[in-house]
Amino acid sequence: MIQLYWKNATGDVVGPEHGISPSDMASAMKKVAVAHEAVVEQWDAGELGYAKLPARRDYRDEVTQLAGRYRGKVTDLVVLGIGGSASGNIALQTALNPVTYNLLSDAKRPGPRLFVLDNADPTLIGDTLAMLGRRLKKTLFNVISKSGGTAETAAIFMVVREMLRKRLGEKFADNIVATTDPEGGILHDIAEADGYATLTVPGDVGGRFSVLSPVGLFSAAMCGIDIDALLAGAARMAEKLKSTPPAKNPACVLAAVKYLMYAQKGKPIHVMMPYSNRLAGLADWYKQLWAESLGKETDRGGQKVFVGPTPAKALGATDQHSQIQLYREGPNDKLIVFLEVEKHSREVRIPDVFGDVEKLAYLRKVKISKLLNVEKQATEYALAQSRRPSVTIRFEAVTPESVGEFIFLYEFTTSLAGEMLNINAYNQPAVELGKKATFALLGRDESDPMAGEIRKFAETDTEYLV
């Protein structure tokens, strides 16, 4: 099971000003114990939708059944989604399939090539669709939207649907799977009218928490990822986090460390830095989970609080050469969360060459995995010498089980952090204004006065144009 190591966030390592003292931790653990009790009560009351997902056999079964229908019959799978309807799909694919997955031949891949259209970027959309070419007949499009009203996803879907209709004729619906609200909504109604296969977006699970639902599981299952093992890992972590006392509970300790760094130690920026390219997608997934859940203007009592740690991402060892200069000598306002892998899925050994080059002798016959992990330890040490705190989440290996564990660990930690900050971690009111402004500018509601306000705001004042 993945483990949390937090010594390098203590005052003994980085000093009392920037590190956590025993009394700091004791105080925070009292607060986190109350938060843990509250979150478990919500869980037991059925109010914590994401917590049910590891045990939802109905979702697992509908995904497995539909994937079985299509697997072996399609060469390409294109996911249409944005935010939580895409980041989890990307994270699972990058973590659990080879980096060269899409380059493998159809015979050697365990499933179709996977492409995720997660932005309304015309080049991204146009290049991807043009690349499919003659493979279009064997391409499956999975459009993911709870309501179907998200502008970006709806726009891409409309392009894809029309292309399929023109190229494939009346059977175009066979190439579309809609993952949406099973009760109603724009996409639900279109799916019924056109006759698409459908999967469920759970009504009680926000997008950023939905990766272990059909939202994330279908593309994973199609691409050969063991979703049973993924869910089993999440379930194992869920049981541990629910039943383990706070002092030995990794989510409670992680929440306490992050809370202290944010609220008392002047560390509002929490950087996730995996030392594995395979885990980079999980760091991107974390950024949305942390930012959208915890960045809130008001607390539960309606008081203005403007809270929220800012998530950021770095990649080890790559960003030792681009960001560590700032992290060590810039403002001491960051907590670094390293992700470390003990056993990588592949190994490469440096050959015994350049024997006459004395300054390269230290690299000869060394495993690349050892080099990468030594780089992490060296960076950890260098940060500590500059009084910069860090914690490490250790993976024995990157497997479906350990990825499931990590996902549930961070989701539960987010719930705890929301309790400790006294905010609603499950809504995202600030996102709505941007959506409404987009609708207004595109004329969805012709009587909306917002369009005029925005156009006036957006007019270029040449005085400021240089």
Which residues are annotated as catalytic? 292, 321, 435
Strands 296-298 and 304-307: antiparallel
Q: Report the 3 state secondary structure along 147-180.
A: CCCCHHHHHHHHHHHHHHHHHHHHHHHHHEEEEE
- Cα angle, residue 51 at apex, residues 345 and 71 outer, rounded to 5°: 50
For residue 297, give the H/E element and its range: strand 296-298
Q: What is the dihedral of CA 208, 211, 212, 214, to 10 degrees?
A: 110
Distance CA 138, CA 113 (A): 11
* Angle of the 214-222 helix axis to the 57-70 helix axis, nearest 10: 40
DSSP classification of residue 205: S
> Do residues 207 and 146 make contact, with C-beta atoms less than 8 angstroms apart?
yes
Distance CA 292, CA 83 (A): 10
> Do residues 418 and 360 make contact, with C-beta atoms less than 8 angstroms apart?
no
> C-alpha 340: how far from its chain's center?
17
Q: How many other CB atoms are found less than 10 A from the CB of residue 339? A: 25
> Do residues 58 and 289 make contact, with C-beta atoms less than 8 angstroms apart?
no
Dihedrals phi, psi of 141, to nearest 5 degrees: -110, 125
For residue 286, give the H/E element and its range: helix 280-294
